[in-house]
Amino acid sequence: MVDITAAQAAERMGMTLSEYGRHSRALETIDTIEALVGDKAGYLGSEVDYQKGRVVVSWDKKSLLPPGLTSVGVGGITVEAKTAAPSPELEEWLTGQGRPNKVADVQGITYDRDAAGFVVDVVEGSATAGQSSDELRKALGLPAPIVTINKYPRDRGGLLSRWEDEGAHNPGSRAINGPFNAPCTAAFKVRKNGGGEALLTAAHCHSGGFYNAGNWMGSVSDSSYRTFNTDRDISLIEGDSDGYGVSMYTGWYNSSSLVRVTSPATPSFGLSVCAGGAMSGEVCSGIINANNGTRYGRTPVFTAQFGGSTGGAGNMDSGGPIYTYYSSSTGTYVRPVGLISSGDVMAPCAGQPESPERRCFQSVHGAQITTAQSAMGYDILSSSD
């Protein structure tokens, strides 16, 4: 395992050291906010602006703002509250519980808070693409207007998939599904509520046995695959007698650098994140710009837009970790945010191209791992567990 410094983490994330300090304190501020609000009705999420050193909390104005909420900023981070008056149906969407009706050739749905409406992606040239905003809203059963309909070719995006990882396999390592010969990536270590440990991966990587350089990693059961492939796109690789490591591979696609993992971070708007697929390696230019949406039938997902000269992830990165760096008085860690699920908007590939058919994406959609914990019966483990 490699201990990295705050300065190294800042460099990886493309931040100055002072920006990275505000980023870490903003994460602590959101932790404090979420501990304070608990399961109180009215909390609609937080938005990070680390450059200005603030966190903006969205709150339903029908509910009372908890006393002291705007005074919990950590290390100079300010907290502001903005209120909204969503309908009960829209509030379900804003808290990740909304589900649209199934409509052919709809590839994605997200809610644009600034425009107070939905953005819907549809297949170019399809019958659905010919519908008006009102017609499509009615068909989908959305609780607010559609403000934008994006039309893309059918093959514009796709589901996404370190190389020699023996013994106790670690998050971020390559995971090849044997029966389907489907290269993917393993993500964070979890403990099942009924006992036993596992690694998360994407459910669309199929069921059956997984291998890394010929080494058995465990398997995804048919029941896990069937239950979660059509919804959260999360499944569990389990059953390796060597167990699983908790520290995570970071860096280039053939990296051997392992960094300690700490508690998960909520995928808040404006949060800077990295994707760590086994093919692309670590790409840290992502900013979360959408949350609690639907992509290719999977929900709830968040979206990170990656800048720079390459995409954030591509084929064979599927199931890999999406995370952010974080430093405190005890050291520098990665904090889990989600799993690589799918992508849009083609871009050159980082890391190992392997084949000319490989496709990579600027917009990377992440499965929400924390909202699935209670439903799937697992706890995400940190290096201190």
Q: Tens of pLDDT along 300-352? A: 889 999 988 889 999 889 999 999 999 999 999 999 999 999 998 888 888 87
Per-residue CA distances from 249 to 38, 252, 262, 265 (Å): 32, 9, 14, 18
CA angle 365, 366, 368 (to 5 degrees): 140
Contact yes or no for 81/59 (Cβ under 8 A)? yes
* Dihedral over alpha carbons 272, 359, 298, 149 (to 10 degrees): 80
Q: Identify which of 7-16, 89-98, 144-153, 250-259 has the greatest average pLDDT.
A: 7-16
Using a cut of 0.95, tell me whether the model's pTM lies above it: no
Query: How far apart are alpha carbons 312 and 272 in whole angstroms?
Result: 12
Res. 115: pLDDT tops 80: no
Summarize pLDDT for 281-297 with one digit per residue, the tens. Answer: 999 999 999 888 888 77
Contacts of 79 by beta carbon, 8 Å cutoff, 6+ apart: 29, 33, 54, 55, 56, 57, 69, 70, 71, 72, 73
Choose the weakest-confidence range: 159-163, 186-190, 263-267.
159-163
Predicted local confidence at residue 160, as pLDDT:
47
**HSE-up (13 A, CA, CB side) for residue 149:** 21
- Residue carrying the six token digits 């909304």: 98
| Terminal Cα distance for the chain, rounded | 16
Complete domains list, the chain, with CATH? 6-87 (3.30.300), 106-152 (no CATH), 155-385 (2.40.10.10)
What is the Cα–Cα distance from 35 to 21, expressed in whole angstroms? 21
Joined together, the tokens standing for residue 164 give 């020699």
Mean pLDDT in residue range 217-237: 75
Give mean pLDDT, residues 14-28: 94
State the burial class of residue 41 (Cβ atoms within 10 Å of its Cβ: 0-12, 13-18, 19+): exposed
Instruction: Give the pLDDT score at 161.
Output: 38
